Amino acid sequence: MRYQPLSALFYKNNRNKFCKNLTPNSLAIFNSNDVYPISADSTMSFQQQRDLFYLCGVDQEESILLLFPDATEAKHREILFLRETNDHIAVWEGAKLSKPQATKLTGIETIYWLNDFYRVFQELSTQCDRFYFNTNEHYRQAVETQTREDRFIEWCKKQYPAHGVAKSNPILQQLRSVKEEEEIAQIQQACNITEKGFRRVLSLIKPNVWEYEIEAEWVHEFIRNRSKGFAYSPIIAGGNNANVLHYTENNQQCKAGDLVLMDVAAEYGNYASDLTRTVPVSGRFSDRQKAVYQAVLDVKKEATKLLLPGTLWKEYHVEVGKIMTAELLKLGLLDKVDIQNETQEKPAYKKYFMHGTSHHMGLDTHDYGLLHLPMEANMVFTVEPGIYIPEEGFGVRLEDDVVIQKTGEPINLMKSIPIEIEEIETLMNN
């Protein structure tokens, strides 16, 4: 692996925290993701199922984790099933984890090969009353493909109809939303790699550069610093393209006088970072661009101060909306009539700032977190306000990743990445 893995103790602690939330005599199952086909014999690069990774650190396909705290035999309270390697696989794909390597990585003593799964599972099914299935209940999930987990759940329900069932996801939503220091260090490393990419591209951005040329410079720097690459599909949006929130074509030329919005960040060890910067293609902001940029930056600074323990996500966004409304009035984009005609469901500021300000960050770019629960220390959030003005041909979004503290303002994991107008212009003109 390219990255430095976290300690086996970290994963063992995660399993212990999870198991404390299970009802008695329950067995929880976690399957790795599929390797997804493209066409012919081509496949997409493997991405591990993040819950399984959180609980054991295994980054290998066809892996299964069983957690059964009340198993009759102590050795069956934590079991990892792995694809058995052989000389043929080693030649064509590279060696897979051996049993001793898996134990060292995960802290799990009982390792079986995958061909033993159904035999062992049948034995354990006679001892448990309930299965915990790992369904995807993230508020933004949009899964259209049947996953390896889905197929297992379907098989298990048919095979064992008398067993009770429960959900792992609500437990993991709470556990994963509050980060341990080791996780924050991984996210910080992803942010540090992202900073290197940003500083690299600033010297490339000039009139007539293509968006995909900028994208190439980002990923070059990421990979050479032990990242697998982008944490999510990169957005390199010159000029009016910035007003398409999820613009990913990255196939246009950047014109003199325009801004280019870059929503790009690295992953490290399967942990994501999430950055947005908007810079002038010609190296200098116009007066109007400066005014809008500074408004977005001011909203970001004020919004960050609101990320405190006890804050509710929905109430936070209402307060950020008020701050944004004041800035839009100063810019002349809203007037008193707009404010008089707004409703709670359709506030006036949404015309120019239509997305949320913050989301959880971690193993997923839009990470786990139950939004109805108050914020806690060691949660990691983005802060990403934007103002989008299609009629003026540009948009500005700025984004950093921050860690909520027990007291005081959050710590900005991207504080060393240039964001102030003068610093951006100085770096681009050196």
Query: What pLDDT does 148 receive?
Result: 96
Q: Which of 109, 144, 177 is the last residue of a domain?
A: 177
Closest CA to 356 of 405, 402, 319: 319
In a domain, 1, yes or no: no
Same domain, 141 and 256: no
Give the tokens for residue 405: 């503290």
Same domain, 169 and 266: no
Residues 6 or more apart in contact with residue 401 via CB below 8 angstroms: 187, 191, 273, 274, 275, 361, 380, 381, 382, 412, 413, 414
Q: How many H-runs (helices) and E-runs (strands) does the chain carry?
A: 13, 18
Same domain, 318 and 300: yes
- Residue ranges making up the domain that contains 353: 181-429
Query: What pLDDT does 171 receive?
Result: 98
In a 13 Å sphere around the CA of 179, the CA atoms on its Cβ side amount to: 25
Across the chain, what does the average pLDDT equal?
96
Looking at residue 379, the DSSP 8-state letter turns out to be -
Same domain, 342 and 424: yes
Look-up of token digits 């390792």: 111
Closest CA to 218 of 192, 242, 200, 241: 200
Same domain, 102 and 41: yes
Q: Which of 177, 200, 228 is the last residue of a domain?
A: 177
Under the banding of pLDDT at 50, 70 and 90, the label for residue 91 is confident
| DSSP annotation string for 21-74 | TSPTTEEEEEEPPP--EEETTEEPPP---HHHHHHH----SS-EEEE-TT-SSG
Same domain, 191 and 130: no
Q: Which of 113, 145, 177 is the last residue of a domain?
A: 177
In a domain, 134, yes or no: yes
Phi first, then psi, for residue 351 (nearest 5°) are -65, -35
pLDDT, tens only, 236-291: 999 999 999 999 999 999 999 999 999 999 999 999 999 999 999 999 999 999 99
Query: What pLDDT does 430 receive?
Result: 87
pLDDT surpassing 90 at residue 156: yes
Under the banding of pLDDT at 50, 70 and 90, the label for residue 143 is confident
Same domain, 275 and 417: yes
Exposed / middle / buried, residue 168 (Cβ in 10 Å: 0-12, 13-18, 19+): buried
Same domain, 20 and 144: yes
pLDDT surpassing 90 at residue 316: yes
pTM above 0.85, yes or no: yes
pLDDT surpassing 90 at residue 414: yes
- For the chain, the domain total comes to 2
249 touches 240 (CB < 8 A): no
Whichever domain contains 169, its CATH number is 3.40.350.10
Q: CA-CA distances (angstroms) from residue 305 to 275, 299, 301, 402?
A: 18, 10, 7, 10
Question: How many Å apart are CA 400 and CA 414, to the nearest integer?
Answer: 6
Give the tokens for residue 234: 């990169």
In a domain, 118, yes or no: yes
pLDDT surpassing 80 at residue 51: yes
Mean pLDDT of 329-357: 96
Residues 6 or more apart in contact with residue 51 via CB below 8 angstroms: 30, 134, 168, 172, 176
pLDDT surpassing 80 at residue 221: yes
pLDDT surpassing 80 at residue 348: yes
In a domain, 2, yes or no: no
Query: What pLDDT does 90 receive?
Result: 75
Question: C-alpha 289: how far from its chain's center?
Answer: 30
Question: How many Å apart are CA 166 and CA 337, to the nearest integer?
Answer: 51
pLDDT, tens only, 367-412: 999 999 999 999 999 999 999 999 999 999 999 999 999 999 999 9
Query: What pLDDT does 9 receive?
Result: 98
Closest CA to 390 of 356, 351, 348: 351
pLDDT surpassing 90 at residue 93: no
Query: What pLDDT does 377 receive?
Result: 98
